[in-house]
Every structure is written in C-alpha cells, then in structure tokens.
C-alpha cells in the first residue's frame, strides 16, 4: 500500500452513487507536457507495479499522472459485481473531467486497453476534453467478454450464468476466484470495438507477450488490423506473460511512454 490517502470523487446518482479513489500527481514544471493516465485491468488496481512505475516516471519528468480505481476495485466504493465496461468507462471520463488536463497519454493494461480504446472513441464523439497525444496498450483485451470468454463457456458456466447471473473461475493472480457476471457480458457486446476501423487519432504502441495465457498474441494482431489509420507499433515479447511486470517489461513500457509523451528519460534512471 502506498503512503498517504487517495482523494475521492462521487460518481452516479442515488443508490448507485459510489466513491472513486484517485491518486493525482500534479505537474511540477511549467513546460508543456501531457498528463499520464493509467487504466488498470480487470480486478487490478492503481497500486500495481506498472501503475507505480508510470507514476514514478511522471515524477522524474515533472509530468502530471492520474491513477484511480474503478468501482469495486482497490480503494473505490461500489460492488465489483455491478461493474461493466460502460460503468468503468463512465468513471474514467468522470475522473478525467474532474482533473481536466489539456493533453493526455493513456496507458491501459489488459481490460484497461479496451477501456482506453473506448475512451478515445468517446472523446472524439464529445469533441471536448483533453487532446489524446498517444496510447500505450499492454496485453490489451478489447472485446474480451465476447471474443475470449463467451466462445469458451462450458455448459456448467452457461447454466450458472442463467441461474445465478454469474460464474466463477480460479484466478492465477489471486486466491479469490474471478467472477464474470451476465451483466458484464451483455454490456460487453454493446462496447465492442473490433467491429470496424478504430480511430484513436493518436499514435498507439502495443506491448504483447507471446506466452500470455489470458490474452493470446493473435488477439493483438487482430487489434492491429483495426488500427490502420493510426501510427501503430506492435512489440511482441517472445517470453512475455500477461502481466509484463518484469524489469525489462517495465523498461519497454516506459520507453513507449517516453516516445509518445515527447520526453527524454534521464540517463541512469
């Protein structure tokens, strides 16, 4: 756990109102530069090693950094089982609107990559808010509910969805099982991005491990086909897993952020 308490904003109305925990690092220099926005993966939070590495990079560069926990994650309120892509995307927009940076570079991990792509679509649709300067997607999992979960559902899981509204499966990253709700899956269909050209309007750098047991590297190749209009780079890491949290993986991530944010990492850092 990091030192200090996060700040909170309230999102939603009535019984759906929930507190979203934010850790915001303001810029420490007058030079122009984008705020770095971290988007976590499913059941991950803003205190993970990649998120902290992004924050530390921002501190070295004097850049702003925005981290937060989706509802039902980390220090935020709300029930995890109420979570959907639409709900977590709305919280992302609320946090960005609250802080109101002029420019951003978004770093999305796993499900955070899907939310990052949807965020780009929503910002283009709104034509207000920050300018999106770049996007780093780490083992991105766009449309994972429709593309990776639904096709592999067992009879028992389908029965559990029908009878209980959710199913569970063991997690490699936690003693608690992963929970996938029928609401999440149904909402995922409404948020699909792998249905046509995705116009982010900014350079995109994808980092993908080829030994990823959760998101196969072929999924990243498919995403690449949907980003033809943008300056997109795909780095395949032959021995990389899903987390991509080893020192060499963090170096690749920070190198991509350095390029997209127009910074220069100090020597020896």
Per-residue pLDDT of the chain (269 residues; tens, 9 = 90+): 466 899 999 999 999 999 999 999 999 976 678 999 999 999 999 999 999 999 999 999 999 999 999 999 999 999 999 999 999 999 999 999 999 999 999 999 999 999 999 999 999 999 888 999 999 999 999 999 999 999 999 999 999 999 999 999 988 878 888 999 999 999 999 999 999 999 999 999 999 999 999 999 999 999 999 998 779 999 999 999 999 999 999 999 999 999 999 876 544 44
Q: Show the tokens assigned to 16.
A: 């759906």
* Structural contact between residues 142 and 223, judged by C-beta atoms closer than 8 angstroms: yes
Q: With contact defined as beta carbons under 8 Å apart, do 131 and 106 qualify?
A: no
User: What pTM, to 2 d.p., does this model score?
Assistant: 0.94
Rg of the chain taking only CA atoms, in angstroms = 18
Short-list 36, 213, 201, CA closest to 124: 201
CA distance 132 to 110: 19
Which residues are paired to 236 by β-bridges? Answer: 208
CB 151 within 8 Å of CB 225: no
Number of domains in the chain: 1
H or E segment and range at residue 90: helix 85-99
**Which residues in the chain belong to E strands, given as ranges?**
7-11, 18-25, 35-39, 65-68, 103-109, 131-138, 166-169, 178-181, 204-209, 232-237
Q: 182 lies in a domain?
A: no
Asked if residue 75 belongs to a domain, the reply is yes
202 part of a folded domain: yes
Report if residue 21 sits inside a domain: yes
Query: Where residue 254 sits, what CATH number does that domain have?
Result: 3.40.50.1820
- Considering the domain boundaries, does residue 229 fall inside one? yes
156 located within any domain: no
Residue 153 lies in a domain: no
In a domain, 177, yes or no: no
Domain that holds residue 224: 7-144+195-261
């Amino acid at each position: 756990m990091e030192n200090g308490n996060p700040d909170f904003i309230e999102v939603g109305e009535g019984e759906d109102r929930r507190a979203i925990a934010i850790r915001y690092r303001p810029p420490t220099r007058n030079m122009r530069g984008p705020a770095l926005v971290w988007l976590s993966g499913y059941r991950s939070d803003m205190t993970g090693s990649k998120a902290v590495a992004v924050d530390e990079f921002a501190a070295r560069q004097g850049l702003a950094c925005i981290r937060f926990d989706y509802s039902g994650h980390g220090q935020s309120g709300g029930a995890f089982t109420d979570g959907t892509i639409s709900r977590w995307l709305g919280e992302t927009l609320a946090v960005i609107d609250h802080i109101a940076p002029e420019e951003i570079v978004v770093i999305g991990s796993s499900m955070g990559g899907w939310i990052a792509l949807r965020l780009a679509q929503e910002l283009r649709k709104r034509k207000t808010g920050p300018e999106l300067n770049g996007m780093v997607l780490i083992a991105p999992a766009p449309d994972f509910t429709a593309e990776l979960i639904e096709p592999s559902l067992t009879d028992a899981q389908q029965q559990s969805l029908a009878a209980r509204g959710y199913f569970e499966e063991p997690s490699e990253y936690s003693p608690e099982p992963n929970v996938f709700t029928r609401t999440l899956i149904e909402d995922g269909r409404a948020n699909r991005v792998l249905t046509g050209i995705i116009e982010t309007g900014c350079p995109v750098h994808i980092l993908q491990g080829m030994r990823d047991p959760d998101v196969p590297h072929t999924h990243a190749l498919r995403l690449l086909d949907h980003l033809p209009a943008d300056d997109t780079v795909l780095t395949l890491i032959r021995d990389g897993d899903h987390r991509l949290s080893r020192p060499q993986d963090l170096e690749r991530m920070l190198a991509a952020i350095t390029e997209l944010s127009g910074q220069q990492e100090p020597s020896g850092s």
